[in-house]
Structure formats: structure tokens, C-alpha cells
Amino acid sequence: MSAAEEVINSERVSAVPRVPVLNRFLDYISSVRLGVVVLCILVVLSMIGMLIMQQDVEGFDAYHVSLTPAEKLVFGHLGLFDIYHSWYYLAMLLFLSLNIVLASIDRFPSAWSYIVKPKLDATRGWLLNRRRHFEMKADAGDAASVANAIEGVFKKQGFSTKITEKGNAFFIFGQTGRWNRVGAYIVHVALLTLFLGYFVALQTGFNAVLRLAPGQKTNHIEMQTFDLDKKLNFDVTIPFTIECTDIQQKLINPEGDIDISNTMDWRTEVKIADPGYGTNTYEISLNKPLNYRGYRFFQSQAIAMGSARNITLALTPENGGNAINVQVPRGGQTKLADGTIVAFDDFQPDFALGQDGQASSRSSDYNNPAAVLSVTPPNGQKTRVIAFSPAFADKAPVAGAPKAGYKWRLVDFEKSPLAHVLSIKYDPYNASFVAWYIGGFGLVAALGFVFFVSHRRVWARIEQTEGGTQDIVIAGEANRNHASFDDRFDRIVSTLRGPEDQSNGRSIET
Amino acid sequence: MEEVSKLNPDLLANAIPTVDDRKTKSWTSYLPVIFVFVGAFSMLALRLEIGKSFISDGAFMMLALASYILAALFQLTNLYAPSEMSTKIGYWGAAIGVFFNLSSWLVRWVAGYEREIAQMRAAGNPATPWIFRYIPFANLYDLSLAFAFGAGIATLLLARRRNLQILTAFTLPLAALILTLARFIGNDFIDLPPVLDSYWRPIHVGDASLSYGVALVCFAVAVIYLLKDGVKVEAMAIWSSIFGFAVIATVSKFSVFSALTYRAGLFISNPASTRPFPTAFRLDIPFVGPALAVTGLLLLGVVAAFLVYIYKDNESAKRAGHVLLKAALVAQLMSIILLVYGIKTTTDVYPRLQAEMAAKPALLMAAGQAMAEKQEMSVEDRRALTPNEYEQTARNYMQASGPQMFLSLNANPVELSALITALVGTLFVIGFGFRTERLRERLPSLDSLDNLMYKTACLAFAGLAMLLITGAIWANESWGRPWGFDSKETGALIAWLTYAAFLHTRISRGWKGRSSAYFAVIGFLLVIFTYLGVSYLLPGLHSYA
């Protein structure tokens, strides 16, 4: 047979075995590369949600009106007006979570092996291929004493060490920060905790609002949802009764308006009567919400209709005498020395008589403040008295006329809005807490651990040569923070070389 | 043949030396940073001692701006004509700039505190809120001041190694642009929205300024990397020209190319405070529109010429491109000068506005629409408004308040700063084109740049993560929900995801170098979008900062 025939008739070399489709698929969905692609998709989708106004943003109705019918149709059908709650956005987040889990499962064993099976020894060639390596020799001492000396230097630089002997060579292995190898996995566990908490809160919770004026009691809250330019409200019954006992607005200038620019804080005092847990009083103010049985109550808004939290009245007896000042809290009453009971029923910031003869206001500003009182003289009938400010009452005979034995003047009052609006988040499993406090802070702490600590390893190989000297190879590498590791390695090398031999020798990095 | 080193025999006698001169060396490299903090806190002490007559926060800010520009100039000169003196002046100039920057921020804290306390005492309110209520993290001016400081201090900390000090030549001009924006926003104090009065504000916004600062340094390192790696200066010129063109096309509500005009915003004075109200009206500044249009065309020409050069290797296209680039620089400079001059010297605002509105009623309608959008009205009411009603609203307002309207450099701070940034970009690219090979040689090694880029990206990533988490927890305490995909939250998330993609490409594809540098550039642009674009372009809960 000729050489050519041998070649032609040679046995067929078997083809590279095909990996099963399922394995290839699993490899693909657990790849970091795919994870990066999903991240980029999420970036694009998130950006779309910023550029196309979302339906829960204030001003959406005006924006929606300004769109062409085609835009409304296309954007609407694609779910672009509520993209962050769309099925495909949530699916991307879920898919990213799956990718993280699979990629972690794939890579964790090799990371774990760094911790449980450190590379205690290595060939000369392997060491010389490390990022940093250095060769030297020792004229004095035997291999064991040289190994001990080098181990001491490693320890001084903060490495925890181990000496092993293999064949006729001694190996010293030193490392710090080995747990950094699993740092990335801790980061991803924290991130997945955050995602999980977010999903659970999304599925099991809802948002609602509650408008409360002092004295108002209710066990209903209003759940709000958005459907394009429509706000839909649903009544929800809560398992306890909430009563507003006080509202207060802390102003920068107490004489100024009750608008937001003059406000430091809003405070709502509530009494919660719960069949299961009794009755308790709580305070809610800005940045200090109330957590109650999965319901979180937040100070959201104030209804900017002027009212008064307490009033100071100057009462001048009709028959003569000095004026007396009395203070009455909102919804409360006081008894005068002569037995007259003065109850503070209502307050009108810009008093006007309504068509039905009832007290009402022209506006919500404090233009003509008046306190509406119920006054019960000791042996008389309850009568309605309206106390105006001295500036108005002194000029208006009817308004300023005495009633129930006194001339009534409203001399001071603490400004307060008519009602507060609390926003409520229902989170029955405290999923938000788990997500953001545990997942969130865990993520930040884990990132700090990943980036500020690194796994540093150093090796030394000592081998006795035929001439009786010791051949030494020092090598080292770190998984990050290379510049800082280089400094450490250089110090090891200069310590090993000593002061007399600084000008010679090679310290090599790739 | 080199002799192999010998093991120090003393070690065999257990005499392992303990002297470690690393600590001494590293301590001195922190001197500029120590100077910044000691100096700035001394300024704070002096302000508390001397009172209002001490140097104002605005003056400190301008000193910081001047120092940053000077220091950058010295370091840039050093690249072309190295000298020990330029290096030292450049580096210490940077430290002085950061010192002025931090001093401005600290002095502003005291000034804010004194201002509100004076208001409260005048109104008879004896309360003394805690001092953190006044920490300068309330509006975009404060954040800009802190952002520039974050970039400065990150530069001083990261560029301690001698070979990396050149970083200041690239980061300080960017910090100076941030301070320029701050100057145009104006340092008037605002009334703090009550929801911001929380201990979370110093944590969250402080973290924002430091993270943004580190992201800025990462961006600068990426640019230096690309330069060192041999990216053609012409390619950089294409990107800077596209940016410049995009700015020109979008300012003044797209009127530069659509109507050859640039209209600057009008203010109306506010009797209750020094901070004026913006109006919905804008006034044409003569010649600026055509100047900007010409600039835009020149920049387009640059892009076209350099694209031809890069893809067809056409030398004459390259030469033409460089000529056009220089012409574009002159045109940009002229446009900005005309704009500033026009704003500063126009006195007859009202008659000119009346004439312009009469000639173009569509502008009246647009102004009326903008005013209506700011008002709260129901969907039905808004749908019912007709163009005539919009016009009437605007006309009524103009008649009532027109005589009080005035032009100001502070009316469109982002637009003006963007135009200046585009100019600086063009200037830098022209600079890079000068003795490019020599410049590349003087830059640090690719390896050290790549390491620094990775380190800063890691820091920015961790900082942005903390920003998102602290923001969510604060939002949970005050707005009632930890995450609502508000524009700013989403913007920060997008920037964070981009840095995440950057870090993961290094793992998965071993992507280093150029690809990583592109990611770092995109990440920083998204940070700027979060910092600025969200407040000015998009509505949402975060719109005050």
C-alpha cells in the first residue's frame, strides 16, 4: 500500500462529540455574557420609561391629551405608559434573577475551591508564570531554615502561612482575604433578596390614601390605581378604626401663610382602636411614618384650607370690666369663672355668611378669620357666637356686638390646615423591609467587601541545588487591587534581599 | 549576565527587619488632601468667628473655579513641555482649588443657617432647628458645588502616584464646568421643601456627590486611556462635534435650526426674595441664532470630513476637517460671546418682547400652554382649552408683568453650560491634535490607566449602589414607597446597570482596555443625565434637585 493510500484508507477520526442541546441551552442561559445582554435590555426599557411619561406621574393627563391617536394606540398597546409594571419588564427582571442563580451555581465550585483547597505547592514553571515572581538564592542555611525565614517574612506582611514539603523542595504558601472569592456570590444573594422582596411587595401590597380632619373617625381607606389618564379609587376596609385627634403645622413664620414654603413639618395625631390590640395613640409626621400591622401611614399632604388648632379669645363683659383672655383648643371647650361654657366648634379663615345662614368662607386664606363658638351661659340656652378679629369686629357693629353677656374678640390663633392626607402602604409581609434594609444594605456591605478586600497569595519554592545553595522562587498574585498588592510584594522582595543586595537581581512582572 | 539576588543572611538568624518606610511615604502623599480639610475647616472656624463680613460662599466658589482652570492649564502645559515647576503648581493648584471648593460649601452651610434663623427670629419664632437642616444639599446649586468637590477630592486621592498626577489636567476642567453651571444656576438660598428636612439628606446627597465625582474621574481616565491606546483624535473630534451639534440643535426649544433664532429665557423679580421667578417667555437675542446655526453646520462639516478620512483614508479630508474644527471653535466662541453680550446689554426687553409676540403669535400660544401646564386643572378643563385661550392667558400675563421682565445669564443655566462644555470639548480635541504622538508618550502606561479605570468604576458602582439603597430607604420613610421608578431613581438605576455591565464584561469576555473605556464613558454620560437631565427635562418627585 502506498503512503497516499494509507492516508486515504486510514480510519475515520471520530468527529467532536456534539454537546446535547439541553446542556448548550443551560450553558447559554447561565452565561455572564447573556446577563450583560439582559442588563443592556433593562437599561433600554428603563430609558423608554423615562422618555415616555408614565401614567402615575403628575401631569400625565396633559401629556396623554397632547399625543396623537397613533401614539396613544401604539404606546398604549405596547404598555409603554406603565412599562415598569409591564409583563416584559418583570419578565426581564425574573430572567436576570434566573441567570444570576445559574451563573452562580456554575462558578461557585471553583471559587469555593480557592478557600477549601488552596494551592500549597507548584512547579517552578508555574510560579514563574505568575504576575509577579522573583528568583534568588541562599548561600547559607539549609532548605528548612530558609523556608522558616521566608515564612517569617510572609507572616510579617500579614499573610497566614503554611509550609509543606514535597520531594526535595520546601513550599511556603501565604494568603490573605481568601473569603473575597465568595464576595461576589454574597453580592448576588443580596441582590436576589432585594428582587424577591420587591416582587412580594408588588404582589401582596397596595397603596392607598386617607383624608383626616380632627375628630374624624373611620375604618375605610381609599386604594388608588391608575389606568392611563384615569385615577380609580377603591374603598378598602381596614381591621381597626383610626381617629384623628390633632393636626398641626409647624411654620417657620407663625404669622405667615400655611403654604409649603413657610412650613417645617406637619404632624398628625391619631388614635387607633383595634379589637385585637386595644386603643393606642400615635403620631405621624414628615419622615416619621407609623407602622401598624402591615399598614404604613405617611404624612403626605395638607388640605390648604385655613383653620385653627387653638384660639385665644378676649372676652369683655357687657356690663363693664376688664377683658379676660381664654384659650380654647380645637373641638374643645372651656368654662369661664361665671360658669359660662365656651365651645370652639368651627373656624372660618375668610368669613362670609352662606345663603343658608351658615358660616362659610370666601377663600382658604386668612383674610377675615372668625371662630364659630357655642356659648352656654349658666342659666341660659346654648347660643351661637362668632368671634372676629378686633380689626374687623370693632368696625362692624353687628359682628362686634355683645352676646351672651360678653363682647367676643378673636385675638390669636395657631394656624393649621383643615385636614391632612395620609398616604398608606400596605405591606403585610414586611417585604419592603426585607428587600431594602436586608437586601439593600447587604448589597452595599457585600460590595464594600468585594472591592476593598482582595484575595492575595504568595508562594516560595526552596530547592537545594547540587552546589549546596538553595534555589528560591518567590511568586504572588491577587485577584484585584493589583497596584496595592505590587507594593506588598515589592516589600517582601526587598526584605528578603536585605539592604546589601538592593542593586542587583530581578523582580519580574508580566 | 545579571547576577541572581541573594537571600539576606540576617533573616536566618530570625532578624526580620521591622522598619517599614511605606507608612512614611504614603503619609506624605496625602498632604494635599490633609491641607484641603484642615484649610477648609479653618475657613469654617473663621466664618463662625468673624460672621457675615467674612468671604462669602460665592467668592470661594469663584476662587475654586479659577484655581481649577489654572491648575488644569499648568498640567496640560506639562504634557507638552514637562517641567518640575508646572507639575508642582498643577498639583498644588488642584489642592488649592479643592480647598476653596470645600470652604465654599462649609461657609454656605453657616450662611444658610443664619439666614433662616434671622427670618424665624424676625417672625417671633424662638425655635432653633438642628444644624443639619441647613447642610448644603438642598438644590442643584448645592449638589453642583458638592459634585465638583467630589471630583476634586477623588482626583487628589487617586492621583497620588507621580505618574498619575496628569489626571488633574483632565478632571479639573470637568470640575470647572460643573462650577460654571453652578454659577449660572445662582447661589440664592431656597426655602427647604419640608420633605427634605431629614437626616437622610446628608447621607443620600453626600453619597451622590462623591459617587458622581468618582464617576467623573473614571470618565477622565477612560478618555486618557483612549488617547494612549491610539484612538484617532479625529474620531474623538467626531464625537465631540456630534455632542456640540446636538446641543445647538436642542437649545432654545429647537429654534436655532428651525427659525435661525436663539431665545433666552426671561425672569421676573420676586419681591419676597432675591431669587427671581422664571417666566414662560423667551426673547430673541440678535445674531446668536445665525451664529449658532453656522457653528452647527461647521461641526457637521467636521463630522463628515473626519468620517471620510477614517473610512476612506483621505488625507485632504483630514486637513479639511481640522480647518473646519478650528473654524468651529472660533464660531462657538463668537456665539457664546454674542449670547452673553446680548443678555447683559439688552435693556428694552418689554418693547422687543411685544414686537416679537405680535410678529409670531405661535410663540404666545406656546407660552400660554407652558403656563397652563404648570396650573393644576382637571383633565376635562385642560382638554377644553383652545389655542385662543392659551394666547389670551399669555397676553394677559405679558401685559401685567411685561415691564418687570428681564434677561439673565441664570435663566437657562443648563443651555449655557452645555454650549460652554461643547466649546471646551472642541478645544480639548484641537489640543489633542497638537503633537499627538508626543502627547501619547507622556501619558501613563495603559496598564496603570486600565487599573485606575477599573478601580474608579468599582468605586462608582459601589457608590451608586449605596445611592440607590439610601434613596429607597429615605423614600420609604417620607414618600411612602421605597421605589416608584421616579425619573431620578430610574436614571440612577440606568447608570448603575451600565457600570454593572462594565464590570461583568471584564469577567465574561476579559474585556479590558478600549471596550471598558467606552462603557466608562457611557456610564458617566448617564450619570450626567441623572444629575441634570432629570431635573430639567423630565417631571417627577425629584424635580427640585
Give the Cα-Cα-Cα angle B378, B380, B386 (nearest 5 degrees): 110
In chain B, which residue's Cα lies nearest the Cα of A503?
B5
Residue at A9 is within a domain: no
Domain boundary among A86, A113, A140: A113
Rg (chain A; Cα; Å)? 40
pLDDT in tens, B399-439: 888 888 999 999 989 999 999 999 999 999 999 999 899 88
Tell me, what's the pLDDT at B543? Answer: 45
Q: Are residues A66 and A170 in the same domain?
A: no
Give the whole-angstrom CA distance, residue A185 versus residue A311.
62
Secondary structure of residue B474 in the 3-state scheme: helix
Q: Are residues A233 and A336 in the same domain?
A: yes
The answer to whether the CB atoms of A289 and B487 lie below 8 A apart is: no
The answer to whether the CB atoms of A156 and B16 lie below 8 A apart is: yes
* pLDDT at B537 > cutoff 70: no
In this prediction, residue A301 has a pLDDT band, given cuts at 50, 70 and 90, of confident
Cβ of A428: how many Cβ atoms within 10 Å?
A: 12
Tell me, what's the pLDDT at B21? Answer: 47
Give Cβ neighbours of residue A385 (< 8 Å, ≥ 6 apart).
Answer: A372, A373, A374, A375, A403, A404, A408
* pLDDT at A243 > cutoff 90: yes
Cβ-Cβ contacts under 8 Å between A and B: the total is: 228
Residue at A442 is within a domain: no
In chain B, which residue's Cα lies nearest the Cα of A469?
B6
Of A138, A432, A444, the CB nearest to B465: A444
Q: From the CA of A316, how many Å to the nearest CA of chain B?
A: 27
The answer to whether the CB atoms of B11 and A255 lie below 8 A apart is: no
Q: Are residues A25 and A83 in the same domain?
A: yes
Q: Are residues A347 and A403 in the same domain?
A: yes
Q: What is the mean pLDDT of residues B324-349?
A: 94
Domain boundary among A408, A426, A444: A426
Asked if A470 is an interface residue toward chain B (Cβ–Cβ < 8 A), one would say yes
Report the number of distinct structural domains present in chain A: 3
The answer to whether the CB atoms of A440 and B485 lie below 8 A apart is: no
Handedness of CA B507, B511, B513, B518 (dihedral sign): negative
In chain B, which residue's Cα lies nearest the Cα of A205?
B481
pLDDT in tens, A85-112: 999 999 999 999 999 999 999 999 999 9
- In the numeric block, which cell numbers belong to residue A423? 398616604
Domain boundary among A69, A93, A113: A113
Residue at A25 is within a domain: yes
* pLDDT at B1 > cutoff 50: no
Q: What is the mean pLDDT of residues B481-508?
A: 87
In this prediction, residue A13 has a pLDDT band, given cuts at 50, 70 and 90, of low
Tell me, what's the pLDDT at A83? Answer: 93
- In the numeric block, which cell numbers belong to residue B145? 458645588
Give the whole-angstrom CA distance, residue A118 versus residue B38.
46
pLDDT in tens, B200-226: 999 999 999 999 999 999 999 999 999
In this prediction, residue A311 has a pLDDT band, given cuts at 50, 70 and 90, of very high
The residue among B7, B250, B537 with the most chain A CBs within 10 A of its CB, best to mutate, is B7
The answer to whether the CB atoms of B534 and A42 lie below 8 A apart is: no
Q: Are residues A57 and A127 in the same domain?
A: no
Mean pLDDT computed over every residue of chain B: 88
Tell me, what's the pLDDT at B440? Answer: 92
Of A43, A263, A425, the CB nearest to B481: A425
pLDDT in tens, B244-254: 999 999 888 88
Give Cβ neighbours of residue A317 (< 8 Å, ≥ 6 apart).
Answer: A405, A406, A407
Residue at A161 is within a domain: yes
Amino acid found at A337: A
Tell me, what's the pLDDT at B65? Answer: 97
Residue at A340 is within a domain: yes
Q: From the CA of B232, how many Å to the nearest CA of chain A?
A: 27
The residue among B5, B24, B534 with the most chain A CBs within 10 A of its CB, best to mutate, is B5
Residue at A281 is within a domain: yes
Handedness of CA A339, A345, A350, A353 (dihedral sign): negative
Q: Which residues pair with A268 in a beta bridge?
A: A247, A284
Residue at A7 is within a domain: no
Q: Which residues of B fall within a CB distance of 8 Å from A134? A: 5
Q: Are residues A257 and A348 in the same domain?
A: yes
Q: Are residues A273 and A372 in the same domain?
A: yes
Q: What is the mean pLDDT of residues A288-300?
A: 90
Q: Are residues A265 and A151 in the same domain?
A: no
Of B120, B483, B539, the CB nearest to A198: B483
Instruction: Give DSSP secondary structure letters for A136-196.
Output: EEESSS-HHHHHHHHHHHHHHTT-EEEEEEETTEEEEEEEE-GGGGGHHHHHHHHHHHHHH
ipTM for the predicted complex comes to: 0.84
The answer to whether the CB atoms of B494 and A198 lie below 8 A apart is: no
In chain A, which residue's Cα lies nearest the Cα of B196?
A287
In chain B, which residue's Cα lies nearest the Cα of A198?
B483
Q: Are residues A62 and A211 in the same domain?
A: no
Q: What is the mean pLDDT of residues A279-302?
A: 90
In chain A, which residue's Cα lies nearest the Cα of B519?
A40
* Sheet containing B405-407, strands listed edge to edge, beginning at the edge strand earlier in sequence: B277-284, B263-268, B405-407
Asked if A138 is an interface residue toward chain B (Cβ–Cβ < 8 A), one would say yes
The answer to whether the CB atoms of B480 and A31 lie below 8 A apart is: no
Residue at A308 is within a domain: yes
The answer to whether the CB atoms of A264 and B197 lie below 8 A apart is: yes
The answer to whether the CB atoms of B195 and A287 lie below 8 A apart is: yes
What range does the domain containing A155 cover?
118-177+454-509
Q: Are residues A219 and A131 in the same domain?
A: no
Quote the distance between the C-alpha of residue A343 and its chain's center. 46
Tell me, what's the pLDDT at A451? Answer: 87
- In the numeric block, which cell numbers belong to residue B167? 489626571
Of B462, B477, B497, the CB nearest to A289: B477
Q: Are residues A50 and A140 in the same domain?
A: no
Cβ of B249: how many Cβ atoms within 10 Å?
A: 15
Q: Which residues of B fall within a CB distance of 8 Å from A39? A: 497-498, 500-501, 504
- In the numeric block, which cell numbers belong to residue A228? 392611563
> Which residues 219-248 of chain A have a CB within 8 Å of chain B?
229
Q: Which residues of A fall within a CB distance of 8 Å from B474? A: 287
Asked if A445 is an interface residue toward chain B (Cβ–Cβ < 8 A), one would say no
Q: Are residues A95 and A158 in the same domain?
A: no
The answer to whether the CB atoms of B194 and A286 lie below 8 A apart is: yes
Q: From the CA of A262, how many Å to the nearest CA of chain B?
A: 8
Looking at residue A503, which CATH number applies to its domain?
A: 3.30.160.110
